[in-house]
Amino acid sequence: MVRRLDKIEKEMGYCEIRLEKERRLRKQAVFLQADLDALKRILRDLERASTEGYSAGGVVAGIPVAQVAEAAASASVDLERYRKAFVTAGVLDSLRDERALLERELDGVADRLKGYAAFEDRQLGLLREKRLALRGLAQDSNVRLRRINEDFRRVEDQWTSLAEDLINLDEALFFLEGNIDYLRSARGFLVAARATFDLQAWLRTPYETDLMRHSDIGRAREMVEGADRNVKLAEKDLVCLANARVPTEELRRGMVPFFSALFDDLFIRRRMESTVQLVEEIAHVNERVLGKARERRQRLEAVKARIERERERKYSEMGAARRRFAYR
């Protein structure tokens, strides 16, 4: 009977790990679905209001470059219409890519959840087996062993939760570090654009190449888009945390402010300055969040190590109690 109880306990521990993973996957599914629904609404509004194509053939968001430049030079013209059109057209492709990313991630989570369908029933079956096994003990032994077992189960569940937190945090840290790498690359391309991009010539004449696809500015945009994508993937894991909190609301995304700052640089400042500063500021803020996530991980690792020692001690106590009560 002791071996039977040990086997049941180990299987229950495995089931609890799988069920904890399932709970976290369901949190991710809710998070992704809410984000996807909100993004679809935003895209519908932007596509309704947008004139697509932000730079081909000397045109920015359907407005000739020369016209925008002339408006920027006039103190009497309200530039917000031009800015809004530029930003909207600039972020549309990025938001469509994000929609596709969220859909893929949601499908992936749904596929993974299919593999967890049987574990709740299995856990209930093991609980029934355990109760039947305990009935073979004397009543006083049954009560004491049940108390020891519940104490172990409490520690075991805490250990499982901490272990899953560390898995989620490691995943999130990977993406947060990727966010900083992308932002640093974006800054590098913008600094290069400041040295090589002939802004004055671009303002005077139509151009054949697409500003956002065949230039350092276009590469910087791709890096900012990659940085934002990594923020979203990090958030997907951070929403699962049960024993720690990372301030995801402090994370900054870059696409909309990037195009707003780029508009200023192209048409108002006439030099690549605002975009460089913006990317540096976003990287600085997000690095602080990354530092906090690393601190949370160190703390959780220390707590898990302490709980693991307690778990091993409780498991030994439970095994000894079972053997003692079984042979009375």
pLDDT surpassing 60 at residue 1: no
List the domain range (segments joined by +) for residue 257.
2-326
Top mean pLDDT of 14-28, 53-67, 90-104 is at: 90-104
Confidence category of residue 122, pLDDT binned at 50, 70, 90 = low
Burial profile 51-66: b = 16 or more Cβ within 10 angstroms, e = fewer: eeebbbeebbbebebe
Confidence category of residue 103, pLDDT binned at 50, 70, 90 = very high
For residues 227 and 183, the answer to whether their CB atoms sit within 8 Å is yes
Top mean pLDDT of 88-97, 259-268, 285-294 is at: 285-294
Which tokens in the block code for residue 209?
């190449």
CA distance 4 to 192: 69
- What confidence score (pLDDT) does residue 210 get? 63
CA distance 271 to 269: 5
Confidence category of residue 75, pLDDT binned at 50, 70, 90 = low
- What confidence score (pLDDT) does residue 319 get? 73
- What confidence score (pLDDT) does residue 315 get? 79
CA distance 177 to 112: 25
Average pLDDT over residues 208-235: 88
Low-confidence winner among 41-50, 123-132, 144-153, 162-171 (lowest mean pLDDT): 123-132
Q: Phi/psi at 56 (nearest 5 deg)?
A: -65, 135
| pLDDT tens sequence across 234-275 | 999 999 999 999 999 999 999 999 999 999 898 888 888 999
| pLDDT tens sequence across 34-52 | 999 999 999 988 877 665 4
Count of domains forming the chain: 1
Tokens 């984000």 belong to 35
Q: Residue 60, SS3?
A: strand
Average pLDDT over residues 96-114: 93
CA distance 148 to 156: 12
Indicate whether this model's pTM tops 0.95: no
For residues 175 and 194, the answer to whether their CB atoms sit within 8 Å is no
